[in-house]
Amino acid sequence: MNRKLILSGFLLFTSSFAFAQDKVIDNIIKEANENSQLEKLAHELLDVVGPRLVGTPQMKQAGDWAIKKFADWGISAKNEQWGQWRGWERGVTHVDLVSPRLRTLEATQLAWSPSTNGKPIKAEAIILPENITDSASFQKWLPSVKGKLVLVAHNQISGRPDKNWEEFATKDLFEQYKKDKAEALKKFNNNLAKTGLNAKNLALAIENAGAAAVIINNWSQGFGVDKVFGANTKKIPTINLSVEDYGLVYRLAKFGSKPVLNITSESKELGMVPTFNTMAEIKGKQKPNEYVMLSAHFDSWDAASGATDNGSGTILMMETMRILKKFYPNPKRTILVGHWGSEEQGLNGSRAFVEDHPEVVKNLQALFNQDNGTGRVVNIGGQGFSNAEKFLTRWLAKVPDTIRNQIKTSYPGTPGGGGSDHASFVAVGAPGFSLGALSWDYGTYTWHTNRDSYDKLVFEEIKNNAILTAILVYMACEDPERFNNTKADLPINPRTGQKTTWPEQKKANRKGGVD
């Protein structure tokens, strides 16, 4: 055959392939911009289902909801059990200051807090002694908590965030405030250390001494925000008061006004319940046993709706799957999405998947994980893989300039040690990449807080992330090469002076919430 004919045929084939590739990408961009389902998904997940604490009925409800949504789009999905967790369901929390004056307080029971069992607690609130001399003196004081509500947290000297002080105070006043704040916290911590107990054992000691409830404040250093985690008590409620109301009750107790609170804190213990990952799949046609994965944890803490941690990542991955199914229904490699359970307690769902599915891990082309808020993606690192630059650069090349130019890449990067679910894959040498988002004050205002709700989502940012993620998945699926997961020679850690080592695989906790 004429060499010119062969060459022209090859050029015709490659140009046709490039045209088809560009058509898919054009459709992805158009669909994401003109027919976005993000707001509807967010409403159904965050407003209707609500927060998704592992072991709660809402976590199961969320999984069932996602499976139905995937089915509506023609995508097969399932809940895949990997363990059990202590089942618990939040009820009503209502707290009033009833003496020396009346005020309804902003209060939230901690996750897995014991209930008041239908009988409100009315009791005096007291504080820990501010000048504990040693553990013996603390043990001598301990019987005085019987029947009382015990405030065990640091009382902030100001409920204004540092940004507010910096903006309005004089320079000298701001510096003095920072000094006073640091000294007050140091004094509190030193005093607490003299009990001889850590936070968990302190709560248990107070409970065992007959207290009626434990009261804390875990202020997140911003107006109106507290971080709300799990209770350490086993028999009595643990309540978080806002920084403002905690300070009020603390001062009343400190200065002898004997504050009395009325507490209703309802919840249900549900025994051990199944815990699971929600998985969905678009089967590959040419290389069905090679995989490109989308990744976002499904669970959340439950003081709010879990919007930016990680509802935003969840709806991003669902929207990406919807778009890919519509315009790339027959991928070259199999596309999987993992909506992980119990990330918040130690990446348990994704670690269990890595343990249970070596066939996926072994044949993973790439995994893209998003888990740090609603902002546009601005950082992607190579996670310590020598060849990450070659592949990621190729995949990012088709992303619109307006999105790609905002992203800072770092190669070979450092392997993730445990911050989110991509680290479960990186630990076993599989290419898991984190799509790092712009902050939007995530760490202070929404991460694990009582303000992590629907209204904090920025849908235009998530829409851009859907375009980015869909194109990355498409390009990774179509790439004629398998990702080369050779590990880079890692540098010296400047903080320790030691050579950086690859993170070790950690086992999933498959029976959680129990001692």
CATH 3.40.630.10 is right for the domain spanning 35-86+272-512: yes
d(CA 341, CA 337): 13
Mean pLDDT of 475-483: 98
pLDDT of residue 3: 58
Position of tokens 């009750």? 249
What are the φ/ψ torsions at residue 457 (nearest 5 degrees)? -75, 145
Helix (H) or strand (E) holding 109: strand 107-109
Tokens for 67? 């499976």
* pLDDT, tens only, 404-444: 999 999 999 999 999 999 999 999 999 999 999 999 999 99
Residue 203's pLDDT band (cuts 50, 70, 90): very high
* pLDDT, tens only, 443-454: 999 999 999 999
Position of tokens 């996670």? 383
What b/e sequence results for 21-36 when a residue is b if at least 16 CB atoms lie within 10 Å of its CB, and e otherwise? eeebbeebbebbeeeb
Rg (alpha carbons) of the chain, rounded to whole number? 26
CA-based torsion, 308, 311, 315, 320: positive or negative: positive
Amino acid, res. 191: N
Tokens for 102? 């009346």
Q: How many CA atoms lie within 13 A of 441 on its CB side?
A: 14
Q: 295: which strand partners? A: 338, 369
pLDDT of residue 493: 81
Residue 2's pLDDT band (cuts 50, 70, 90): low
d(CA 485, CA 502): 13
> Nearest CA to 53 among 226, 319, 273?
273
Give the helix, strand, coil percentages of the chain, each rounded to 5: 40, 25, 35
Helix (H) or strand (E) holding 18: helix 3-34
Residue 1's pLDDT band (cuts 50, 70, 90): low
pLDDT of residue 20: 74
* pLDDT, tens only, 88-121: 999 999 999 999 999 999 999 999 999 999 999 9
pLDDT of residue 251: 98
> How many of the other CB atoms lie within 10 Å of CB of 396?
17
d(CA 177, CA 66): 48
pTM: 0.94
d(CA 347, CA 366): 18
Greater model confidence, 260 or 4? 260
Beta carbons of 112 and 88 less than 8 angstroms apart? yes
pLDDT of residue 498: 86
pLDDT of residue 7: 53
Amino acid, res. 457: L
Q: How many CA atoms lie within 13 A of 271 on its CB side?
A: 2
* pLDDT, tens only, 347-378: 999 999 999 999 999 999 999 999 999 999 99
Average pLDDT, the chain: 96
> Nearest CA to 51 among 406, 304, 374?
304
d(CA 429, CA 415): 9
pLDDT of residue 432: 98
d(CA 405, CA 401): 5
pLDDT of residue 26: 98
From the number of C-beta atoms within 10 Å of its C-beta (0-12, 13-18, 19+), residue 160 rates as middle
Helix (H) or strand (E) holding 123: strand 121-127
d(CA 23, CA 35): 17
pLDDT of residue 274: 98
Residue 499 DSSP label: B
> How many of the other CB atoms lie within 10 Å of CB of 121?
19
CA distances in angstroms from 287 to 128, 226, 510, listed in the order given? 64, 48, 32
Mean pLDDT of 465-491: 97
Mean pLDDT of 35-52: 98
pLDDT of residue 495: 82
Beta carbons of 273 and 55 less than 8 angstroms apart? yes
In angstroms, how far is CA 11 from the centroid of its own chain? 48
Percent of all residues in the chain with a pLDDT value above 70, rounded to a whole number: 96
What are the φ/ψ torsions at residue 189 (nearest 5 degrees)? -65, -40
Architecture of the structural domain at 101-258: 3-Layer(bba) Sandwich (3.50)
The CATH 3.40.630.10 domain(s) of the chain lie at 35-86+272-512
Within 8 A by CB and 6+ apart from 190, the residues are none
The CATH 3.50.30.30 domain(s) of the chain lie at 101-258
pLDDT of residue 491: 83
- End-to-end, the C-alpha distance of the chain in Å comes to 75
> How many of the other CB atoms lie within 10 Å of CB of 245?
20
